[in-house]
Amino acid sequence: MGKVGSAIYIVVILAVAVCAGGCRPGNKTSNPGERDDPRTTGTARVGREYAAPVVVRKLVRRPMSEYVSTVGTVAPARSLAVKSEESGRISFVKPWREGDFVKKGEMLARLDEEETSRAIEITRADLETANRQLDLELARVERTSTDFDRAKVMYNLGQISRKVYEEREFQAQSAQISYDEGIIRVERAEKTLERLLIQMDRKIVRATMSGHLVRRAAIESRSTPAGADSAESITDLEGQLVGTGSTICGIVDTSEILLRCDVTSKDISKVRKGQQTLASVYSDQEIAIEGKVVDVSPIMDVQTRAFKVDIAVANPEGRLRPGMFARVNIIIQTHRDTLVVDRKVLQRRNNQDILFVVGPQERAELREVTLGLENPDQMEILEGLAADEQLVVLGYETLQDKVKVKIIDTEPAVAEDDSATTSVSATGGAGGRV
């Protein structure tokens, strides 16, 4: 064997020896990128379970209402037109402006009274003359009656002729007839004067009720009055001739107002007269306004495709003004003592309504629940929850049953007398599953 062959043989022998040494059991080649297995090293580590952060609220029993939510417009409950009872040229007693408050019977304007005043003066003069003439006729009646009585005695004694007797009788009868005619003239003059005085009074335009003045256009077109803050004048007819029955202006009574709402055909069957309501005016949403349904239209409005519903609301302080918009809840039914949760915390998984509560050892418990009354904001829970349990209200979206949780905050429980009906945050139209 030559030198080259000897060298190749030695290299092959060394390679075989290296491979044989590396393949023996227990002689594992170390990998700098791998960690030691604690089962082989004997240094086992202690594991830490992750806790999901949640916010909870203690469940309490309280009232719960189901309601139809809609929007409405504030309108006066009573409005009357002020009309002229006579014809003539109108003159207002002061520069009235829309929104001015007037009392019933207060004078607003006068119609031209010159002609009527002259007629009253003439009639009074006629009445005075008729009364003086009546006094003369009465004196004549008394005189002729006395003469006739004396003539009857003398005629019976044969002291006067029948012709004289008949003359005295005729004079007495004639005087009585003249007196009766005088009474008729006086009565006629008195009635004429009374009629003229009534006509004079009708020339005065007075407030037909207490309330705020509005323009006649708002009454004639039944549009929404501008309200008490308007600066528009209502004396635009000043100096013009107006006919009998012409509308001068209008008066609205805002001590009680109406909320005029539209209710869809889906919900109208649930609404009836006498139902209680809660509303919130857009300009003052901190104040809940109580009212009552007073009218439900049986006919659908072809323009809005909804039914008109009127709700009466007391307004003694005048905070609600015609034209304002309001959110309205018409209460359908109320359960006074029940468990209530916010609609947003309810989840539906595997075709089942579920909620999460925090159980012992601070672990989430999945509860399948049965629902009762519902409104756009809240749900009644009939089965699946109990009072005093801690309901998860934040952080519930990805929870699973028995998962470890950490309570990072607790919301205050809702007061027992805080009904769901005090919430008027529906967004218009009938909301929720009502």
pLDDT tens readout for residues 1-48: 444 444 444 444 444 344 444 444 444 444 444 444 444 333 444 457
State the Cα–Cα distance between residues 9 and 15, nearest whole angstrom: 10
CATH number given to 82-112+204-251: 2.40.50.100
**Confidence grade of residue 218 (pLDDT, cut at 50, 70, 90):** confident
For the stretch 114-124, pLDDT in tens is: 888 888 899 99
- Mean pLDDT over 102-112 rounds to 92
Contact at 8 Å (CB) between 418 and 64?
Answer: no
Structure confidence at residue 182 (pLDDT): 92
Range with the lowest mean pLDDT among 21-30, 75-84, 384-393? 21-30
Residue 432's pLDDT band, with cuts at 50, 70 and 90, is very low
pLDDT of residue 283: 72
Higher pLDDT, 1 or 98: 98
Instruction: Using the predicted structure, report yes or no on whether residue 325 has a pLDDT greater than 80.
Output: yes
Residue 225 pLDDT more than 60? no
Q: What pLDDT band is residue 219 in, cutting at 50, 70 and 90?
A: confident
Average pLDDT on 148-170 reads 91
- Mean pLDDT, rounded, for 398-420: 79
pTM comes to 0.60
User: 92 near 235, Cβ under 8 Å?
Assistant: yes
Does the pLDDT at position 300 exceed 70? yes
| Residue bearing the bigger pLDDT, 199 or 369 | 369
Looking at per-residue pLDDT, the higher value among 42 and 160 belongs to 160
For residue range 242-299, what is the model confidence (pLDDT) as tens digits? Answer: 889 899 999 999 889 999 999 999 999 999 999 999 998 877 556 678 999 999 999 9
Is pLDDT at 322 greater than 90 in this prediction? no
Share the mean pLDDT of the chain: 82
> Given this model, what pLDDT does residue 52 score?
92
- What pLDDT was estimated at residue 1? 44
Q: What is the pLDDT at residue 318?
A: 81
Topology of domain 69-74+254-334, per CATH? Elongation Factor Tu (Ef-tu); domain 3 (2.40.30)
Task: Choose between 420 and 166: higher pLDDT.
Answer: 166
> What is the arithmetic mean of pLDDT over 205-223?
81
Q: Look at residue 190 and tell me whether its pLDDT is greater than 90.
A: yes
Average pLDDT rounded to a whole number, residues 362-391: 93
Does 431 score more than 90 pLDDT? no
The mean pLDDT of 71-95, rounded to a whole number, is 90
pLDDT mean over 415-427: 46
| Residue 130 in this model has a pLDDT that exceeds 70 | yes
Say which CATH topology domain 54-64+335-422 has.
Answer: 2.40.420
The residue-averaged pLDDT of 164-172 equals 92
State the pLDDT at residue 221: 57
Asked if residue 430 has pLDDT above 70, the reply is no
Checking if the pLDDT of 368 tops 60, the result is: yes
